[in-house]
């Protein structure tokens, strides 16, 4: 995996898994894209500009959203 050298980017490894976090004066925000993927730098710059993450929501988020929409 190629290490990204970008400002405000923290790389943390826990139990053999690598996570990337953006720290920009606020609490850290985890990048959902896999480290080393093409989507990772794209998501970094979206978050850096203050835009929402471009990574797809988790399955749990999709289930919750569909549940609330079905009750309307």
In the chain, domain spans: 9-70
pLDDT of residue 14: 94
Mean pLDDT, the chain, whole residue set = 81
pLDDT of residue 13: 92
In a 3-state reduction of DSSP, which class is residue 7?
coil
* Residue numbers of the chain with a pLDDT score lower than 50: none
How deeply is 66 buried, as exposed, middle or buried, from its count of CB atoms within 10 A (0-12, 13-18, 19+)? exposed
The CA-CA-CA angle for residues 62, 52, 7, to 5°, reads 130
Cα dist from 51 to 18, 57, 64, whole Å = 23, 15, 22
């Amino acid at each position: 995996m190629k290490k990204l050298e970008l400002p405000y980017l923290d790389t943390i490894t826990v139990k053999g898994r690598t996570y990337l976090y953006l720290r920009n004066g606020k609490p850290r925000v985890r990048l959902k894209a896999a480290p080393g993927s093409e989507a990772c730098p794209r998501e970094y710059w979206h978050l850096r500009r203050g835009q929402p993450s471009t990574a797809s929501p988790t399955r749990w988020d999709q289930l919750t959203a569909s549940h609330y929409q079905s009750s309307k």
